[in-house]
A and B are shown apart, each in its own frame.
Chain A
Amino acid sequence: MRQHLLEAADLDRADATLVLDTAAQIDAALAGREVKKLPTLRGRTVVNLFFEDSTRTRISFELAAKRLSADVINFAAKGSSVSKGESLKDTALTLEAMGADAIVIRHGASGAPHRLAHWVRGSVVNAGDGTHEHPTQALLDAYTIRRRLGRVDGVRVVITGDVLHSRVARSNVRLLHTLGAEVTLVAPPTLLPVGVETWPVQVSYDLDAALPEADVVMMLRVQAERMNASFFPSAREYSRRYGLDARRMATLSDDAIVMHPGPMNRGMEIAADVADSARSTIVEQVGNGVSVRMAVLYLLLGGAPE
């Protein structure tokens, strides 16, 4: 593994497989235990540097670091010196001076983790930067697919929704391609990024045609906070054409699973009864996220310092 995890392209097939294997071993080692704690990263410090709101990613990273016995510092931009105008660089240098071995960063600006990686000596983990990447989400999605279907290679994945603003989609396309899955993006033309034809994916505008072929359907959140232009006429129309309801779910093959990175807009991109169905892995994804992030932290911090 490299020193940092900034985007899914940092992982070749061997590295990505190592992360998934390590997560599985950690899962097995902790299964059925009362004390879900390992002494591996004792004395290491992990800083969660969150400039954007987050529930599951921040808690998941915090839990992962704590289960490996690392010391965890949670830093939210709100209430810190950032609101007094301190720059990202000065904030990072301050944290490093306090001895951070790894910085987990979420930032609204695409590329912020890359900048950070040039300034600090420790490891940097991208926990979501703008509309760019969210590599640990892609890893936990791949891990979930592998656990449910037994493999990732050759699996047909349909990713539906707001691809334009989705860092989850970007990371997943890259990582799933690395692991040999066949990815199809389904979205209204207005929600597909410029240059999507150069991505290693197929593109379709018709969800109903894509579903019967799919092993995995990954629904993306319609990001209301980034909807600053008229990307589609109305929520109702979006939901009718690109939402996953019980009728559409019935056209899936028997073993197909439904994924969503959360948080969900129930009734918008995914119907409540679909989200709560047996095909849905949404809650499982959250649990798998902790194991995968433990694996990432172990692989980045568990060995000798560079």
Chain B
Amino acid sequence: MALPSDQSPAQPDPTAPSALMGADDVARSVDRMAHQLIERAAATTPGAPDGGLSGLVLIGIPTRGAPLARRLAARIEAFTGTRVDVGTVDITLYRDDLRMHGVRALESTLLPEAGIDGRLVVLVDDVLFSGRSVRAALDALRDLGRPRAVQLAVLVDRGHRELPIRADLVGKNVPTARSQKVSVHLSEVDGEDGVTVTEGPALPALPPDPTPA
């Protein structure tokens, strides 16, 4: 079916970011993930009077994982009336690519007073890509204490993992090309909510698959 010509864009700019999620989509994903976290907390501590929420700690990975963790905690509190501990862990000093970039400024590390020992830690990040940030965060957690279990929640999973790491909770799965850039915007950092994808530089085409279909 052909669209009327006046509704199709005249000449799409291939380098302009295109919207993947709007502010409403982000809010819905956060709400859904908050509900899933409540279920997980209850499932890991059956029979606990507070649904296991006192054993839950949300740890954001700066920059945008930190406000995302705070939002999830706020939604969980709105749904259940129970406060959830939130923290942030800066992973800069644990990165494996420090020597590939100029020196990076550090961000804050803030743990809840009760610590993370013996609790269910959920790492929160905006985009899951290679998995290297998550590995650095796991290394950092090892130095900070011994959680009972660690899980991973991300707003966007864009694929292209370089390590055997997967997310337990995903806001949205987005198939992308490796050359594309996925940007999450959060009002706390960027002034508005939304997710965009930008075309990267064209990469040389892959050689044809030698195995016949």
Provide the bound-state CA to CA distance between A110 and B81, in Å.
Answer: 65
Q: CB distance A39 to B93 under 8 Å?
A: yes
Q: Is the CB of A28 within 8 A of B139?
A: no
Could you tell me which B residues sit within 8 Å of A by CB distance?
90, 93-94, 98-111, 139, 143-144
Chain A contacts with B in 5-22, Cβ cutoff 8 A: 18, 21-22
B-chain residues with CB within 8 Å of residue A35 when the two chains form the complex: 143
Q: Which 8 A-B pairs have the closest CB atoms?
A: A303-B103, A25-B106, A29-B109, A40-B93, A38-B93, A303-B102, A302-B103, A35-B143
Q: Pick the most buried of B104, B106, B111, B144: most chain A CB atoms within 10 A of its CB.
A: B106
Docked Cα-Cα span, A32 to B143, in Å, equals 11
Assuming the contacts A25-B108, A28-B108, A39-B139, asked whether A299 and B94 have C-beta atoms less than 8 A apart, the reply is no
User: For A28, what are the chain B residues with a Cβ–Cβ distance below 8 Å?
Assistant: 108-110
* A33 located at the interface, meaning its Cβ lies under 8 Å from any Cβ of chain B in the complex: yes
List 7 other contacts, CB 8 Å, given A39-B93, A39-B94, A40-B93. A22-B106, A26-B93, A29-B90, A29-B106, A38-B93, A38-B143, A298-B93
CB closest residue in chain B, given A35: B143
What 0/1 pattern do residues 274 to 306 of A give for CB contact below 8 A with B?
000000000000000000000000110011110
Give Cα A25 to B144, complex, Å: 15
> Do A304 and B102 form a contact, CB below 8 Å, given A25-B108, A28-B110, A35-B143?
yes
Question: Taking A28-B110, A29-B109, A37-B143 as contacts, is the C-beta distance between A303 and B93 under 8 angstroms?
Answer: no
Q: How far is the CA of A260 from the CA of B102 in the complex (A)?
A: 35
Chain A interface size band reads 20 to 34
**Which one of A18, A298, A302 has the highest number of Cβ atoms from chain B below 10 Å of its Cβ?**
A302
Point out the residue from B98, B101, B107 that lies within 8 Å of A40, measured CB to CB: B98
A38 to B89, CA, bound (A): 13
Residue in contact with A22 in the complex, picked from B94, B105, B110, B144, CB distance below 8 Å: B105
Return chain A residues, CB-CB under 8 Å to B94: 38-40
A149 within 8 A of B: no
Provide the residues of chain B in CB contact with A40, threshold 8 Å. 93-94, 98
Query: Measured between C-beta atoms, what is the minimum distance from B159 to chain A in Å?
Result: 27
Q: Is the CB of B103 within 8 A of A21?
A: no
Whole-angstrom distance between the alpha carbons of A39 and B135 in the complex? 13
By a CB distance below 8 angstroms, the chain B residues around A303 are: 98-99, 101-104
B104 contacts across to A, CB distance below 8 A: 302-303
- Taking CB atoms, residues of chain A closer than 8 Å to B98 are 40, 302-303
**Does A209 touch B at the CB level, under 8 Å?**
no
Kindly name the residue among B93, B102, B103, B111 whose own CB sees the greatest number of chain A CB atoms within 10 A. Answer: B93
